[in-house]
Structure 1
Amino acid sequence: MAAEVASFHDPATGTWSHVIVDPATRAAAILDPVLDFDAKSARTSHDSAGKLLEYVRANGLRVQWLLETHAHADHLSAAQWLRECFPGAQVAIGNGIRQTQRSFAPVFGFGDDVPSDGSQFDHLFDADERFSIGDMEGLVIAAPGHTADCVAYLVGDALFCGDTLFMPDSGTARTDFPNADAATLYRTIQRFYTLPDTTRVFVCHDYSPNGREAACETTIGAQKRENTHLRGDTTEGDYVAMRKARDATLPMPALILQSLQVNLRGGALPAPAADGTRYLRIPLDRI
């Protein structure tokens, strides 16, 4: 039986969060939830994650997993807030998160209070590890290239590809972050392209190019035919040259300094200081 998928768009960050449901048991996983953050006031809120919470409760779902495709650099994760809402749900990510934590610990001056062993997460997936959502089996596909910790999740005929692929008219992810590599991303996507053409593909970002409505679902076949950066017949050399040239023109993500400090903690906010206030750090002249 195919997974039911309910998708929720956050227009402020262009993020898609997905609720993946086993129709037989009503067990569910939530993928890439967003914690709302106003950069001007530094206030957090739960409007986006609250929509996921409402959907789960309205449909009588039992959340087993809070899945992250990687430590995002463009939005804060609401995984820990939702974990409090759904006792027993596990926050999970690929084990490459440890490399990403080690890379950014010096940038933010992390000490022993932010270890680089992935212990902030309930579960670290190995490549090709299998897991269950109710009676459905999921497969973890290592998806490095955009970041070292990127993973994709294949549940039945549905691939949740994280930031590797966008909708066909938007191409593929940038590869200019630490531990990123265009050739590696090319090979990751080639593995995706071995899946059946009918495989549903759910992207995790869409920025509505040319004014079209935001979208999140396509297929492997459509990606191979139409992806503006990497079709089925695109060579590695051509892709790498395109990707490097494009990356050289891209600005830094607007929330990279704020989001990474939360997402490397598994979606947890920093501990309160002596005055009871939580603080994020802005490293000057490091990026």
Structure 2
Amino acid sequence: MGALHHIILDTDIGSDVDDALALALILGSPEARLLGITTVYGDTLLRARLARRFGKLAGQEIPVHHGLEQPMSGREVWWPGHEGSLHDGLENEPVEEEDAIRYLTRQVSERPGEIDVIAIGPLTNIAAALESDPAFAHNVRHLWIMGGGFGMDEAEHNFRSDDQAAKIVFQSELNITVTGLEVTRKVEMRRDQLALIAAAGPLGQALDADIRQWWAFWNEEWNVPHDPITVLTLLRPELFTFSESGTVMIGGEGEFAGQSTFTPSPTGTARLVATIDTEAVADEISSRIVNAGTLQLHDADVQ
């Protein structure tokens, strides 16, 4: 099967475990070709090395480019401190010399209209790419964002962390689909899904350990797979419904900075995920992540 979707993943992998789950889901999706990964927010070199490690655990050599560490908003980076702690020898993982902004703008300029960008962290790299190259907005086929909470009286982490970058992105001419908290919170990952993932070879074992670490951090035994759901809005759109086109406004101050509102408009270039088939989406997340781990095992057996 030929690759139908050419993807760049922009991620703050290493804090919330859902970034690693989203990466594994892409690697386990035969209709997706992951061209590269860019990292954002905090220690982006560490994040890049961790992303590279997860790719190798799935038997894939994915180029990873580290991006901007500090938000345009000037807000202090939220850093739990456990990032990469379960992965020995990360300092030996190679990352690309080309920085994330140059990589993003170069890749889409060389293949205009062909590459989807999935942004599952603060939008700092995406905003910087827009400022670096005015053609970026038109060269990207579509931008898929995990962020915001629409119709909710709170600010979501990615938008709050860099509300200035979010404003730049939503004021641009990028074609955007946004998956907000009001949608992602309808799906939970619990022990039955974890057992399936844990059995999927070295990748599954690594994900199992990171998930358990994340659960212990919050003293819970479940988590919300925000980012894998966002990936599926691209790969399995029939499992969702979408709003009409419109505009997203970013407002608020302090802890409410990054609050998001949506206004329908025929001239808008953004849309929201409106509804979700929760059971089918949960099944897709598990099966595709397991596929990423078992593909690696199958390849090893063949060799």
Superposition TM-score tier, normalisation by shorter sequence: 0.3 to 0.5
Bigger relative CO (Cα 8 Å, ≥ 6 apart): 2
TM-score by length of 2: 0.37
TM-score normalised by structure 1 residue count = 0.39
Higher strand share: 1
